[in-house]
């Protein structure tokens, strides 16, 4: 049997549901909208950091990408960033005593030319082109690019005799 209800002038246009139901529906809708807006804002913030190159990363990850040795224990005030637009790039900035810098540079890039003076840009500069085969093949024999194609190192002498070093590594 089908029940037919007729709307009266007093009930026309009103929903026939319990008084708490519309509030519950609006609460769920509000939570979903706020959650979607929050997720969108988080994604936009993360993407902006990535595209601008200001996303903080551990310095071990940056030096590994640059095919360099980990920073020595004497390195201080280290900050490392990651970015990606048309290519991938990592940047590391740190302070280090000159002797430790030279030892780290030789251990990281034994075949690279010695750093040269490049004023007014920096006191010492080194441009390192990575060999094309710097990424070993995986277990299936496929070479997946995980390392930089080029690394640039600029160093400035500080008043205390130590160096402020910027390492920039990227894919081409």
- Grade residue 116 by pLDDT with cuts at 50, 70 and 90: confident
> Residue range 8-15: average pLDDT?
55
Task: Please measure the distance between the N-terminal and C-terminal CA atoms of the chain and give it in whole angstroms.
Answer: 75
What burial class does residue 169 get, using C-beta atoms within 10 Å of its C-beta: 0-12 exposed, 13-18 middle, 19+ buried? Answer: buried
Please say whether the dihedral angle defined by the alpha carbons of residues 32, 36, 37 and 41, taken in this order, is positive or negative. Answer: positive
Reported pTM: 0.64
Q: Each residue of 129-169: pLDDT tens digit?
A: 877 655 555 666 665 556 888 899 999 999 999 999 999 99
85, 117 Cβ separation under 8 angstroms: no
Q: Each residue of 22-75: pLDDT tens digit?
A: 788 888 888 888 888 888 878 776 666 656 556 789 999 999 888 889 999 999
Q: Where are the domains of the chain?
A: 18-52, 55-170
Provide the pLDDT for residue 8.
Answer: 56
């Amino acid at each position: 049997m089908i029940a037919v209800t007729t709307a009266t002038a007093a009930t026309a246009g009103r929903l026939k549901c319990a008084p708490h139901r519309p509030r519950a529906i609006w609460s769920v809708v509000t939570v979903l909208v706020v959650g979607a807006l929050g997720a969108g804002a988080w994604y936009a913030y993360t993407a902006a950091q990535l595209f601008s190159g200001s996303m903080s990363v551990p310095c071990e990850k940056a030096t590994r990408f640059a095919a360099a040795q980990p920073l020595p224990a004497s390195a201080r005030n280290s900050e490392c960033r990651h970015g990606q637009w048309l290519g991938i790039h990592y940047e590391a900035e740190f302070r280090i005593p000159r002797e430790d810098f030279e030892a780290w540079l030789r251990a990281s890039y034994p075949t690279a030319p010695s750093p040269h003076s490049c004023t007014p840009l920096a006191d010492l500069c080194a441009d390192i082109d990575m060999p094309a085969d710097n990424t070993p093949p995986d277990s299936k024999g496929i070479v997946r690019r995980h390392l930089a194609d080029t690394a640039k190192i600029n160093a400035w002498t500080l008043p205390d005799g130590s160096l402020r070093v910027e390492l920039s590594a990227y894919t081409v």
